[in-house]
């Protein structure tokens, strides 16, 4: 297993083992999650739901593309007309998407991999442009914004087939068990490593979900095809999770913000019971 430098704030991390009882995942999938940091739920979402979610996202993606067209070189932060469009916090603006985020599938995954009380922490669509110029660099989700507990849940929903040619997920097994690692900032996003040994490609069909930890280093390659590669990424954290404030290079955190903003974060599981989107 590759070893990476720890994040300065990651001083006392222990990976939480998952023993069940499970509602959705199998014991084998739970073992993969614990040992490798990811697994795949094949064909977890039916075609009609995928079509409805894709249609609901389209106007928000168009807003992003229109905005990028006003920016120098069509770029803003890690997004660009020639690489990837990212629409964030779209579920609070659309009932189809809010209901999807709070659906039984993801409530069950939260029960199995987080615990009895879980919230939607973040969601965004990620559409890779045809013949894209940049990949998404190797990173942990917790490397962008430092959340505690460090281990939260990412569900990468394929809205189109995700292949080696159009930018499927690649994952780096095992690193998650050590917690958050150090990242460096680049012009196209944070990076924790480059071309690591042992990386695993995770191509999936539309309707499948790549389930991985916020601590699993992952990347996606360039889309070298003629079509847009579409994904919807949902992230869930334990109720009471906080984001740490401050500069890791300057010392310990200076503050914490509880992740319960009613404008974009809502419970999906309370005392083990699924609750609908507000």
Q: Average pLDDT of 5-27?
A: 96
Please compute the mean of the pLDDT values over residues 160-170 and round it to a whole number: 98
- The encoded tokens of residue 203 equal 């191509």
Which residue, among 148, 28, 46, 19, has the nearest Cα to 104 in the 3D structure? 46
Residue whose entry in the numeric block shows the structure tokens 């430098």:
5
Q: Does residue 232 belong to any structural domain of this protein?
A: yes
- What is the domain-level CATH number for residue 249? 2.60.120.620
Asked if the structure places residue 10 within a domain, the reply is: no
Confidence category of residue 140, pLDDT binned at 50, 70, 90: very high
For 172, the domain range is 27-270
In a domain? residue 9:
no
CA atoms of 104 and 67, how far apart (whole Å): 34
Residue 263: pLDDT band by 50, 70, 90 thresholds?
A: confident
Based on C-alpha coordinates, what's the Rg of the chain? 18
Question: Is 21 part of a structural domain of the chain?
Answer: no
Inform me whether the pLDDT recorded for 250 exceeds 70: yes
Are 157 and 230 spatial neighbours (Cβ–Cβ below 8 Å)? Answer: no
pTM: 0.96
Confirm whether 275 is domain-assigned.
no
**Confidence at residue 17, expressed as pLDDT on a 0 to 100 scale:** 97
Has residue 100 been placed in a domain?
yes
Task: Report if residue 16 sits inside a domain.
Answer: no
Q: Where are the beta strands (DSSP E) in 129-277?
A: 136-139, 147-148, 153-158, 169-171, 184-186, 189-191, 200-202, 209-213, 218-220, 229-238, 242-245, 255-258, 267-270, 273-274
Asked whether residue 19 carries a pLDDT value surpassing 90, the answer given is yes
Query: Does 255 fall in a domain?
Result: yes
- Is 90 exceeded by the pLDDT of residue 3? no
pLDDT band at 28 (very low <50, low <70, confident <90, very high): very high
Count of the separate structural domains present in the chain: 1
Give the model's pLDDT for residue 1: 64
């Amino acid at each position: 297993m590759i070893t990476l430098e720890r994040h300065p704030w990651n001083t006392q991390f222990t990976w939480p083992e998952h023993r069940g009882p499970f509602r959705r995942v199998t014991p084998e999938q739970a073992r993969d999650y614990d040992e490798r940091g990811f697994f795949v739920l094949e064909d977890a979402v039916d075609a009609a739901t995928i079509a409805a979610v894709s249609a609901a996202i389209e106007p928000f993606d168009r807003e992003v593309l229109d905005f990028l067209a006003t920016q120098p070189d069509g770029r803003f932060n890690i997004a660009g007309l020639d690489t990837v469009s990212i629409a964030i916090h779209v579920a609070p603006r659309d009932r189809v998407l809010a209901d999807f985020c709070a659906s039984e599938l993801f409530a069950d995954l939260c029960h199995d991999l987080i615990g009895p009380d879980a919230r939607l922490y973040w969601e965004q669509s990620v559409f890779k442009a045809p013949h894209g110029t940049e990949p998404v660099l190797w990173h942990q989700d917790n490397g962008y914004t430092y959340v505690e507990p460090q281990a939260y849940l990412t569900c990468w929903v394929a809205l189109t087939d995700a292949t080696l040619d159009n930018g499927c997920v690649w994952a780096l097994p095992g690193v998650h068990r050590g917690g958050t690692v150090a990242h460096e900032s680049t012009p196209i996003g944070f990076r924790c490593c480059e071309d690591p040994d042992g990386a695993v490609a995770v191509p999936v069909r539309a309707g499948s979900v790549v389930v991985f930890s916020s601590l699993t280093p992952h990347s996606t390659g360039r889309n070298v095809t003629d079509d847009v590669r579409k994904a919807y990424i949902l992230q869930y954290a334990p109720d009471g999770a906080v984001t740490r404030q401050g500069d890791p290079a300057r010392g310990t955190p200076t503050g914490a913000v509880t992740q319960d903003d009613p404008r974009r974060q809502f419970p999906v599981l309370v005392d083990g019971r699924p609750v609908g989107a507000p």
